[in-house]
Amino acid sequence: MKTLQRYIMRELFFPFVMGLTIFTFILVMDRIFTLSDLIVEYGVSVWIVLKLLIFILPATFAITIPMACLVAVIVVFSRLKSDNEIMAMKASGISPLPLLKVLLAFGVLLTVAMAFFNNTILPEANFAYRHLYYDIVRQRAAIVIREHVFIEDFDGYVFRVDDKNPVTGELKDIVVFVRGAKSDEPVRTIMAKKGQLISDQQNRRVLLKLENGYMQVVQKDNRALFSRIDFATTFLDLDIHRELADSDKNVQRGAREMSMRQIQEQIKQWSSEGKDVNLLHVEYHKKFSIPFACLAFILIGAPAGILAPRSGRYFSYFIAVALIFLYYIFISLGETFGADGRIDPFLSMWLPNFVLTAAGLYGLAWVLSEKPPFFPRTWRRLEGRK
């Protein structure tokens, strides 16, 4: 029996590594294009960009490792069935239960390891990424701002400076064009007598401080009309790819950059201040719910591979991709609804796992008893049998 268990573990290794590599490459590809722009367009060193890529990988692994678990289990058990190895085991009087026990032990160990990873390594990597990216934007902002040149290096803004003091960094006679988020939104124009770049170390932000100016906004319905808003002081967030602007600015660390203990402390603080803590609760439960997906995917992957059609080996890949797609769609929706308070944060993060686990236990009972535990007549009709 131990020989079979070692055999299953060896068979799982290659599809797990391949799945992890492919899924990680797919998810990182978009970031690779973005980071390559830092080298080509902004002159950032290759070493700095590689460090950014390294800091991105933990967040990617947190997603792709459960994916790889599902693909590996479904592919291996589907192959065992198509090659009649499952039938040979049953003919020899060997139950699949010991093999399933090995898979469950592997799933539990991987879940615990991923929970530790998400609670310790992942928050530090996310924070290090934002810290390094902030330094790039801060240094780049001071370099790219030149006199009498239209500057388009920062997302959402085009601005021009007539005079720049190289000693104090003070800017004079500034014109800023603010692009709308949508293509049909009118461009806003800001004009200011003077300004200065400000680095907010605590919240990792680079700001353009504008003084003694006004903003003109064209009416959307009638482009011939516009309104004017005068201001003494205003601030604009500067970012190359909006990565800093999207981060949580209320605290030094965002919710995804905290451990569970830090999130609990932040929940207590925000609750005492009357702030909405739904997002923090969502991130807290996600520390465990995403790692638990490793075990949930194994629970449903083994019976899905065994019960898949014998002739359709590639059908197992379709099942795996479909389950992954559905799971992460529901996780994304759960994050949104949980943060908005429309669903309890605990339920928003754990409901997909509960559904997968229930379906997996049903499938395991089917495999072990060799018949559907519930509604056997319905299944026979679906299979075309009387």
CA distances from 367 to 5, 167, 300, 301, 364 (A): 18, 75, 11, 12, 5
pLDDT tens-digit profile of 95-122? 677 777 888 888 899 999 999 999 999 9
**Beta-strand (E) ranges in 140-187?**
157-164, 171-178
195 within some domain: yes
Per the structure block, which two tokens stand in for 260? 């569970």
Q: What is the mean pLDDT of residues 184-209?
A: 78
Nearest to 235 by CA among 209, 216, 211, 215: 209
Among the residue ranges 15-19, 184-188, 331-335, the one predicted with the least confidence is 184-188
233 and 289 share one domain: no
pLDDT tens-digit profile of 233-277? 988 877 655 555 444 443 467 778 888 998 999 899 888 888 888
321 within some domain: yes
Determine how β-strand 157-164 pairs with β-strand 171-178. Answer: antiparallel
263 within some domain: no
Cα four-point dihedral sign 22, 25, 28, 30: negative
297 within some domain: yes
CA-CA distance, 354 to 358, in Å (whole number)?
Answer: 6
262 within some domain: no
142 within some domain: no
193 and 74 share one domain: no
Among the residue ranges 126-130, 187-191, 283-287, 368-372, the one predicted with the least confidence is 368-372
* 75: alpha, beta or left? (left if phi > 0; alpha if psi -120 to 50): alpha
What's the residue count for the chain? 386
CA-CA distance, 337 to 114, in Å (whole number)?
Answer: 25
pLDDT of residue 386: 43
Largest Cα–Cα separation, the chain? 88
Domain count, the chain: 2
Over 80: is that where the pLDDT of 279 sits?
Answer: yes
Among the residue ranges 123-127, 132-136, 312-316, 344-348, the one predicted with the least confidence is 312-316
- Of 238, 265, 282, the domain-final residue: 238
Query: Which residues have CB under 8 Å from 240's CB, separation 6+?
Result: 37, 38, 42, 136, 137, 140, 153, 154, 155
CA-CA distance, 297 to 69, in Å (whole number)?
Answer: 7
Of all residues in the chain, the percent with pLDDT exceeding 90 is 21
Among the residue ranges 73-77, 114-118, 285-289, 333-337, the one predicted with the least confidence is 73-77
Is residue 118 within 8 A of residue 45, CB to CB? The reply is no
147 within some domain: no
126 and 168 share one domain: no
279 and 352 share one domain: yes
CA atoms within 13 A on the CB side of 43: 6
pLDDT of residue 248: 43
23 and 128 share one domain: yes
Query: Which residues have CB under 8 Å from 91's CB, separation 6+?
Result: none
Q: What is the mean pLDDT of residues 197-217?
A: 79
Reported confidence tier of residue 351, pLDDT bands at 50, 70, 90: very high
pLDDT of residue 242: 52
Per the structure block, which two tokens stand in for 126? 């996310």
pLDDT of residue 62: 92
202-218 burial by CB neighbour count: b if 16+ within 10 A, else e? Answer: ebbbbbbebbebebebb
Q: What is the mean pLDDT of residues 280-305?
A: 90
CA-CA distance, 127 to 257, in Å (whole number)?
Answer: 5
CA-CA distance, 158 to 139, in Å (whole number)?
Answer: 18
Of all residues in the chain, the percent with pLDDT exceeding 70 is 81
Among the residue ranges 158-162, 278-282, 314-318, 355-359, the one predicted with the least confidence is 314-318
pLDDT of residue 35: 78
20 and 131 share one domain: yes
Count of CB atoms situated within 10 Å of the CB of 15 = 19
26 and 115 share one domain: yes
Burial class (CB in 10 A: 0-12, 13-18, 19+), 334: buried
- The residue whose two tokens read 């615990």 is 112
Q: 155: helix, coil or strand?
A: coil
8 and 94 share one domain: yes
CA-CA distance, 227 to 244, in Å (whole number)?
Answer: 30
* Amino acid type, 271: S
73 within some domain: yes
232 and 168 share one domain: yes
- Of 238, 254, 287, the domain-final residue: 238
Q: Which domain holds residue 212?
A: 156-238
Q: What is the mean pLDDT of the chain?
A: 80
- Of 191, 222, 238, the domain-final residue: 238
Is residue 241 within 8 A of residue 44, CB to CB? The reply is no
164 and 286 share one domain: no
pLDDT of residue 114: 94
Per the structure block, which two tokens stand in for 41? 């367009």
CA-CA distance, 324 to 288, in Å (whole number)?
Answer: 18
Is residue 46 within 8 A of residue 6, CB to CB? The reply is no
124 and 164 share one domain: no
31 and 103 share one domain: yes
Is residue 205 within 8 A of residue 226, CB to CB? The reply is no
Over 80: is that where the pLDDT of 72 sits?
Answer: yes
